[in-house]
Amino acid sequence: MLLKGERTFVVRDAGGFVAHVNMPGWLTPKPTDHGHGPLAMIVESILDPGRLIAMHEHRNDEIISWVPEGVMRHDDKAAGRLVIDRDHLMVMNAGASFWHSEETLASDPPLRMLQILIRPRAIDLEPKIQHGPVPVAAANTWRHLVGPEAEGAPFYVRSTIDVFDMRLDAGARVEFPRKQGRDLYFYVFSGCVVADKQTFAEGEQGLHLLDDKLEVEAQSASMLVAFLLDPNAAITRQGTVGDHKKIPPAILIRAFLRWRKFRQMWRRHLSHRRSNTEKAI
């Protein structure tokens, strides 16, 4: 079953810093959790040049910073100043506590990135940070970026999830990565693709609740990020951001999704009636 999520309605604008917050668990027909297994949320972040996000704390979040456009400048007391761009990735294994700041310089290009929040297997693990170059990307080929600790991926998280990205040429068709017992979640960062006869535009997402074959075809040049996750993995839900107390409970989201679906159906009905009236006239 492939479930589609439209571009998120959860947008936070802090003036020069805009966050589009995506909740994978809300794609299910009857959400019980804003996350889906180890994957807590995907935040598409946009920072204007010259914007500083002051030093702040994270706890019990594994945060992947994926930057295909622009430059993100990180600073912390452990590793110092780091630069994340299309050639470098950062994973912050926050654990018990990790403080850092983020900024763009006035001379930097606009920044558009994904901050991926993953739930660790346990609370208050040792805080760590990973930063370095990513493998060279080959067109129309999935690039393995992050995997569980000690399983050989270029970067690791302390949870049962693998992360891939790909730049897909217009007209190209490839199979999504898969593993036995894993669900697939994907996010279209740019472009437009088709999977299982459904169209996914920029900012839209899919959740495949099976581990069988699924193909994707690009309608235009596209960039995707895909996740293979164990929905039954051992996790903690105490992340500073990934499981923030202000996230609406699932029962409210179920009611909202039902209301939105009804509103969309009613609007289509009214549009159809107007069209028939105009034809009759």
- Condensed to tens digits (0 to 9), the pLDDT of residues 100-139 reads 999 999 999 999 999 999 999 999 999 999 999 999 989 9
Structure tokens at 99: 């403080």
Count CB atoms within 10 A of the CB of residue 101: 14
Q: How many CA atoms lie within 13 A of 253 on its CB side?
A: 21
Residue in the block written with tokens 């699932």: 250
Q: Are 110 and 77 in contact (CB under 8 A)?
A: no
User: What is the pTM (predicted TM-score) of this model?
Assistant: 0.91
Would you write out the chain's pLDDT as a tens digit for each of its 281 residues? 899 999 999 999 999 999 999 999 999 988 999 999 999 999 999 999 999 999 999 999 999 999 999 999 999 988 899 999 999 999 999 999 999 999 999 999 999 999 999 999 999 999 999 999 999 989 999 999 999 999 999 999 999 999 999 999 999 999 999 999 999 999 999 999 999 999 999 999 999 998 899 999 999 999 999 999 999 999 999 999 999 989 988 778 777 777 777 777 777 767 766 766 666 66
Using CA atoms, how far apart are residues 178 and 34, in angstroms rounded to an integer? 23
Sequence-distant (≥ 6) Cβ neighbours of residue 241 within 8 angstroms:
40, 41, 58, 61, 63, 117
Kindly state the DSSP code that residue 115 receives in the 8-state scheme.
E
Chain mean position to CA 233: 19
Residue in the block written with tokens 């017992």: 181
